[in-house]
Chains A and B, each alone.
Chain A
Amino acid sequence: MAVVGQVLRAEWVKIRSVRSTVWTLGTAVVVTVVLGVVICTLTRKDFDGMPEERRLAFDPTNMSFAGMGLGQLAMIVFGVLVVSNEYGTGMIRTSLAAVPQRGVFLFCKMLVATSLVFAVGLATSFAAFFAGQAALGGHRAHLGDPGVLRAVVGGALYMTMIALFSMAVATMLRSPMLSLGILMPFFFLISNILGNVSATRRIGRYLPDQAGSKIMQVVAPVNDETPYGPWGGFGIMAVWTVAALLVGYLLLDKRDA
């Protein structure tokens, strides 16, 4: 449909013409790569002192993504701002007057932002991998090793899905403060707590980030009893995201702008 092409171009103009795009995505790249390198460097120094079982389960690929936990917060900010920039400013009324088919509007906005995040995510993921492996020295993994390429591309997919989930939540909630106030503590604290306390781990591992991050693992941790594989986990994350998008779309379509 011709209209979709026009709206995609419009959304691209929007996204490239605000500063928040550059600084949020830039922060995500820098934090993820730098923190990954720092942790890989420290790990190499500690490696010989580690207990046997941890050395056996050592996952150099996943180690280079250690910065992702913090870097994803910048991705969340990006996702939230892409949507709530419209609401915070009243731009949404101008936008919906120009594109009254709200489904088309939402789809195009998400597609443009998601494509951009995926491109940035791929660059980040490969940069984090190569820099991290270099820092690990002799304990490094190679891109050709089984499962490694999947984990590296998976890093980009994970970042993309986190951003998309954030966009969906912001579409539901509209307010940037409310969206960030829920997403940030959720992904940074609550999900971690639920996933690390044994009593709640069974539930915790079905949360979007916990399930999705499985795709970045090459070697399973000790005593791993996760009932899904890397793609299964990513699928769980995708289901969460699709559900959030659906609710966001239904709300956008029904309510007054």
Chain B
Amino acid sequence: MIELMGLTKHYGDKVAVDGLTFTVRPGIVTGFLGPNGAGKSTTMRMVLGLDNPTAGAVRIYGRHYRQLKDPLRYVGALLDAKAMHGGRSAANHLLCLARSNGIPRTRVDEVLHLVGLTSVARKRSKGFSLGMGQRLGIAAALLGDPRILMFDEPVNGLDPEGIHWIRHLMKNLAAQGRTVFVSSHLMSEMALTAEHLVVIGQGRLLADTSMAEFIRQNSRSYVRLRSPDRERLLDVLHRAGVRAVAGRGGVLEVDGVPAERLGELAAAQQVVLHELSPQQASLEEAFMQLTAGAVEYHAHNGGRPGPGRGMPPRPVVPERALSGGAPPGGWGAGWQRKRS
């Protein structure tokens, strides 16, 4: 269990992490999401006592990291695959870590086998590919058989087979009752591995929710309607008790009513439709929408003004309900509340 309490980090004027309070629980994979520069790596460094918090604190099973005796037996972390001396062999890299925490030498061979690096154990890590370096970093994290594992973007540089492997590894570790805390930029990746989600943007907490809840709230399906006679269509829908919401470019969006019924309604009143299409908003879009205000480093397409590739093509949150009242099902209400 990792507890963050008002954790804050300033680098000069820059606020990298801003009052984070949340708990990472054992037995599940907790995904830590945020756009570039959100403060994920900084938060993880503070958990390990590498960077000193400006304010707030981190507790690991109630204790500060520096108070842990043989900390590798409590927390295993992969922060940066390059955090090793390239001139040292994989086995020696692990051996010096094992020695420092009183871990038996046999464990070195075990973890090397576990990550599939046995054949290059005597090779200097300088010559390793990105993926091999990542595996060695994971071996180091597993060395002390710790109850808590923390991975900073572990799938970086891994091939599909490697990604598959690490996904299963994380799930297995959590299934053994360990605390698994893993950062990523990719909602889709987290949707496959994480049971719980913590989303941050510009150092601030945006969401702290279970994955199931996030999906329930955000994988919204709706029907998109377009008509040259928008006002009449609205009127027809309103009289039928259907709530429509204005989307971008004059389209209407309707939640919770099948497309067939909407088509029949329009036909009965002879309203011309130019579009009638069922839609599914992706989790990736929901994530981008959630963090849109907090993205620091937008990409720009050939100098075109406006939102670049970092923005969804269409707002997932409807611009405004025309028929008033809260949308049925309270979509997005959960995490929107947490934003304030």
Contact = CB atoms under 8 A, between A and B. Distances in A.
Complex A-B, nearest 10 residue pairs according to Cβ-Cβ distance, in ascending order: A10-B100, A10-B99, A17-B92, A90-B83, A13-B96, A256-B51, A257-B50, A9-B99, A100-B66, A98-B100
Interface string B95-139: 111111110000000000000000000000000000000000000
Contact of B102 (A2, A11, A20): A2
A17 B80 contact: no
A83 to B, nearest CB: 12
Interface stretch (B69-77, B159-167, B201-209, B323-331): B69-77
Interface in A64-88: 85-86
A200 interface: no
Contact of A256 (B50, B71, B87): B50
B100 A94 contact: no
18 contacts: A2-B102, A3-B70, A6-B102, A7-B99, A10-B98, A13-B99, A17-B88, A19-B87, A20-B87, A86-B85, A90-B82, A93-B48, A97-B49, A97-B77, A98-B72, A98-B97, A101-B66, A256-B51
Given A17-B88, A101-B66, A94 B140 contact: yes
Contacts of A9: 99-100
A100 B100 contact: no
A68 B308 CA distance: 63
B85 A85 contact: yes
B87 A94 contact: no
B182 interface: no
Nearest to B126: A89
Contact of A89 (B69, B86, B89): B86
B50 A96 contact: yes
A56 B69 CA distance: 62
Interface residues of B, number: 35
A105 to B, nearest CB: 9
A97 B48 contact: yes
Interface string B280-321: 000000000000000000000000000000000000000000
Interface string A1-39: 011001101111110011110000000000000000000
Interface of A: 2-3, 6-7, 9-14, 17-20, 85-86, 89-101, 254, 256-257
A92 B205 CA distance: 29
A96 B95 CA distance: 15
Contacts of B97: 10, 94, 98
B79 interface: yes
B17 to A, nearest CB: 12
B85 A91 contact: yes
Nearest to A102: B66
B100 A6 contact: yes
Given A17-B88, A17-B89, A20-B87, A89 B82 contact: yes
B84 interface: yes
Contacts of A100: 48-49, 65-66, 68, 71
Given A18-B85, A89-B86, 9 more contacts: A7-B99, A10-B97, A12-B99, A90-B80, A96-B49, A97-B49, A97-B72, A98-B100, A257-B45
Contacts of A17: 88-89, 92, 95-96
Contacts of A10: 96-100
B45 to A, nearest CB: 7
Nearest to A9: B99
Contact of A90 (B49, B52, B77, B84): B84
Nearest to A101: B66
Nearest to A253: B52
A89 B65 contact: no
Contact of B96 (A2, A14, A101): A14
A257 B47 CA distance: 13
B71 A97 contact: yes
Contacts of B77: 97
Contacts of A7: 99-100
B85 A89 contact: yes
A17 B126 CA distance: 13
Contacts of B100: 6-7, 9-10, 95, 98-99
A19 B86 CA distance: 11
Contact of B88 (A18, A101, A254): A18
B76 to A, nearest CB: 9
Interface string B198-229: 00000000000000000000000000000000
B4 to A, nearest CB: 17
A13 B92 contact: yes
A104 to B, nearest CB: 10
A152 B212 CA distance: 74
A91 B68 contact: no
Contacts of A3: 69-70
